[in-house]
Structure 1
Amino acid sequence: MDQNYDRAKSEMQKKFSEYFSISFFLLFFILDCNNAKPINIDTSSPVGLGAFALEEIIVTQGGLASSPCGGQCVIFASSEYGSKTPSGNLGGIVGADTFCQSAASLLPSGFGDPSEYKALIMSSGGIRDLTHDWVLHPNTTYLNPENNNTISTDSNAMFQFPIGNTFSSNTNVWSAIDATGTTWVASSDDCANWTSSSFPPSGRTGWTGIVRFVDLQGNSSCNNFNSLGLFCVRF
């Protein structure tokens, strides 16, 4: 009887140990999913999790698929949702970001909080360019929710061209991005760092209807009251 009791007790302890290990793993997975840190599991001594036969699990933000944007990375042209600027005076880069956050509130649900959006725009003087306050992530795919087209960045956080058209519309958009070379640089045509509604100065623009949409290689006067949009991205 004592042997049966000991055997039953041992079996119960073993099952409890397995249950505890699995429960602890699931709890750790849930609590740690926002930290995007690797978890290595030693399968040479599989205790509790042996039945899963897992060698390594990478816990990343948003689940098992890595996303630096906290979810699906998004790009959209504000003009496609009827949101346009009155002139080149955007209130600087901060004002441009605020504009994009307001425009993002017009997106369908499921694309993050509007506060997560910034303007895909450059400004001279080291205010916003590839090395200062840049808004694109390297090696990342962005979705345009207007038509579900996607575009990816390279290791330098620039979009890879040529590609198919990302946008469905044909509208002029402020950018001040000079994309004529191998590396994007900020154009000096940026409406005085996006604070002027006069002419001169002028602002370099993009165009949603072309493949290299960030740079039309043309300028618009900063007092352009035809209203231009902005490219906005989820950061």
Structure 2
Amino acid sequence: MEQWFQAAQQGDYQYIKDNIILARSVDQMFGNKTAMMYAAQENHYKIVNILLPFEAKMQNAQGSTALHLAVSKSSFDVIKILATFESDVRNNKGKTALEIATEKNQLDIIDLFEHSSMYEPRASASFILLPDVKNEQLSKLQKMNDELKLTLRKQEQINKEFKFTVQSLGNEQKNDLCIKEQNIKAEKMEYEMKLEYIDAEVQQLKQEVNELENVAEQVMQLVKQKITQKTK
């Protein structure tokens, strides 16, 4: 799945969005970095936004998060997103991303941390997007499902017409039509198998949509709690 990480590094948002289901299935690390870490280093904030629910607070072998790497590369747009979610994580040297920025006297980055609550709407946008991505895939599968059902109905109608025709034909013609009927039955079985597979995929995607919506709700509650804590 090297293409997944390469897309994140190069800022291929459309690929990441279209294949977001891979965020759960691919190995989380490639070259000691997650996909979100690659995107964070290059300031691809839209990709960071969509990967955040899957990879927030993940650490590499050095204990660095995507936020640590974003600070090291001065990825300002990404820092605005991640400061709320990963600012409390320390690397293997016991340093938070803000402490590293302070040591390097990166005043612009320090200012971003101090005003991080101002940027939370952008971070929360990803949790609205993810169910939409799933729903888009679900819609495609349901369309395929409907098309297959329509095809099956047509095949059943053709089958009935063959049976009616067979009754009025001679033996030789009957044999030919019987062969055709068997072929139609075989095609019908194939369509039914495809239909069962798609039905299973639809149910799986529905379940994943529900799970993502639950995750979105939980994270939004966490964001609200952090905002409340900062305003006290």
TM-score range, shorter chain: under 0.3
Name whichever structure is richer in strand by fraction: 1
Name whichever structure is richer in helix by fraction: 2
Q: Which has the larger radius of gyration?
A: 2
